[in-house]
Amino acid sequence: MSQGTLYVLPTSPRSFILEDLVKYYKLDIKISDEKDERYQHYFPLGKTPAFIGAKGYALTEVIAIARYLFSLVPADQVKGVLGKNGAQYASILQWESLINQEWIGAWVPTFYLAVGKAPFNKKVNDENLAKLNTIGGILETRLHDYTFLVGERITFADLFAVAAISVALKTTLGAPFLAKFPNINRWFKTVSQSPFWNGRFEGFEAVKEPLTFTPPKKEKKKETNAAAAADAAPKAPKAKAADAADEAGDEPAPSAPKPKHPLEALGKPKNPLDEWKRVYSNEETREVAIPWFWKNQYDAEDWSLWKVDYKYNDELTLTFMSNNLIGGFFNRLSASTKYMFGCLVVYGENNNNGITGAFLVRGQDYVPAFDVAPDWESYEFTKLDASKPEDKEFIENMFAWDKPVEVNGEKRVISDGKVFK
């Protein structure tokens, strides 16, 4: 019988290191990336990794779970990976804790800011990047004097740190970080080749240009003044006033009454969106929701249908980052929630993917619904005609997103997506 279930978020270093530990030591543990009912029962915080063992023994916190998993490995196989004495054991915990708390804690905000999952804030971005560099300096000094973080052989401290640093090298720190810290570079190469990873880092390359906040293309061109040019990480246009006040130490001006959404002027539609959103969320998409949509929701007078394509697919890298980009866009569209519904999907694979989808929009123009998001011009909008079978099929495929999508005559598998509702 399996010794338990490990709940993971596969893209997260806190999770994939435990997955690799389970695989490397051939532990009889089920890995699940689905938060099933048992998970919900035991883990109200909703975080991963999490573990449920025999008789309902439940654990959260990556460091604790790692220790429990090691306790299931025969002692002669663990060898020195947890240190050869009490002092080494404690030093390993020290590095793990530093990386888990301080490094990952600083990297996550830089990543969220870069992919638009958090509203851009230069101060927060700069502070966290500076902190990552300070920790880089601490590791560099240590690795100047020692081959590995704790003594002269690989321990779990090295493995954990490599997992956490790898995601930063793929995103907001990239190759310039390794160029600055040659000992980290040397150590990262060695540790990432350990058989522990079973080839996870084969062909690993840090991104040459670290991910940073990118304003919509049009805005980029407009920013010609020296101040904007000197700004290493340009701000979103809408964040500017607030940031300027922040930097000057000003109190923000009292807020004016919230302006009405321009689509209010169209009055109430015959079929408001709420019922459709409920049906879509609760019913089988193909069997019930889509027929309901055509029968009860869509009418060509009140609503229009749009194909939405990201314009810069060639700049996308990892599929989960493309999906986060959609998440950020949807957050910034929230002022238009009452006026539209839609799905955007990520098709393809890492380093070869794109974003497309379909939206139902109040009125006959897409601009008033979409221009609430500063990056709306990074997307291309094409009107769809529900009386054309191919357009109708596209909309249904996007709402259901259960089949490959055809892009330039090629069928592409949908790897992820989000619903705007």
Ligand X SMILES: N[C@@H](CCC(=O)N[C@@H](CS)C(=O)NCC(=O)O)C(=O)O
Stretch that binds ligand X, among 47-55, 131-139, 152-160, 349-357 (CB under 6 A): 47-55
User: Does the bond joining 237 to the residue before it have cis omega, within 30 degrees of 0?
Assistant: no
44 is a site residue for ligand X (CB under 6 A) = no
Supply the angle between the helices 104-114 and 122-145 in degrees, to the nearest 10: 140
100 is a site residue for ligand X (CB under 6 A) = yes
Smallest separation (angstroms) from ligand X to the CB of 167: 10
Query: What residues contact 102, with CB distance under 8 A and at least 6 apart?
Result: 131, 135
* Smaller CB separation from ligand X, 46 or 254: 46
Return d(Cα 76, Cα 67) in angstroms, integer. 16
297 is a site residue for ligand X (CB under 6 A) = no
3-class state of residue 35 by DSSP? coil
* Smaller CB separation from ligand X, 325 or 395: 325
Cβ pair 272, 339 in contact under 8 A = no
62 is a site residue for ligand X (CB under 6 A) = yes
192 is a site residue for ligand X (CB under 6 A) = no
Stretch that binds ligand X, among 45-53, 229-237, 281-289, 363-371 (CB under 6 A): 45-53
* Smaller CB separation from ligand X, 158 or 396: 158
74 is a site residue for ligand X (CB under 6 A) = no
Q: And the tokens for 59?
A: 């654990």
6 is a site residue for ligand X (CB under 6 A) = no
Instruction: Single out the residue of 20, 61, 102, 365 in contact with ligand X (rule: CB under 6 A).
Output: 61
x/- track of binding to ligand X for residues 109-148 (CB under 6 A): ----------------------------------------
Neighbour tally for 327: CB within 10 Å: 16
* Smaller CB separation from ligand X, 11 or 337: 11
Cα 238 to its chain centre, rounded Å, is 22
| Burial readout 257-271 (b: 16 or more C-beta within 10 A, e: otherwise) | eeeebbbeeeeebee
Stretch that binds ligand X, among 6-14, 203-211, 359-367, 410-418 (CB under 6 A): 6-14
* Smaller CB separation from ligand X, 33 or 385: 33
Dihedral sign from CA coordinates of 350, 355, 356, 360: positive
Smallest separation (angstroms) from ligand X to the CB of 97: 9
What is the size of the binding site for ligand X (CB under 6 A)? 10
46 is a site residue for ligand X (CB under 6 A) = yes
| Residue linked to tokens 């690989």 | 154
β-pairing, 4-7 vs 30-32, is parallel
9 is a site residue for ligand X (CB under 6 A) = yes
19 is a site residue for ligand X (CB under 6 A) = no
Q: And the tokens for 4?
A: 């338990």
Instruction: Enumerate residues 309-328 that contact ligand X by CB under 6 A.
Output: none
Smallest separation (angstroms) from ligand X to the CB of 61: 5
Stretch that binds ligand X, among 42-50, 209-217, 272-280, 387-395 (CB under 6 A): 42-50
β-pairing, 303-310 vs 340-349, is unpaired
242 is a site residue for ligand X (CB under 6 A) = no
N-term to C-term CA, the chain: 42
Phi then psi for residue 23, to 5 deg, are: -70, -45
Smallest separation (angstroms) from ligand X to the CB of 298: 35
Smallest separation (angstroms) from ligand X to the CB of 57: 17
185 to each of 4, 22, 178, 280, 388, how far by Cα in Å? 36, 27, 5, 49, 56
48 is a site residue for ligand X (CB under 6 A) = yes
199 to each of 66, 67, 81, 186, 204, how far by Cα in Å? 20, 23, 19, 18, 10
106 is a site residue for ligand X (CB under 6 A) = no
14 is a site residue for ligand X (CB under 6 A) = yes
Smallest separation (angstroms) from ligand X to the CB of 69: 13
Helices (H) and strands (E) in the chain, counts: 18, 11
> Which residues contact ligand X (rule: CB under 6 A)?
9, 12, 14, 46-49, 61-62, 100
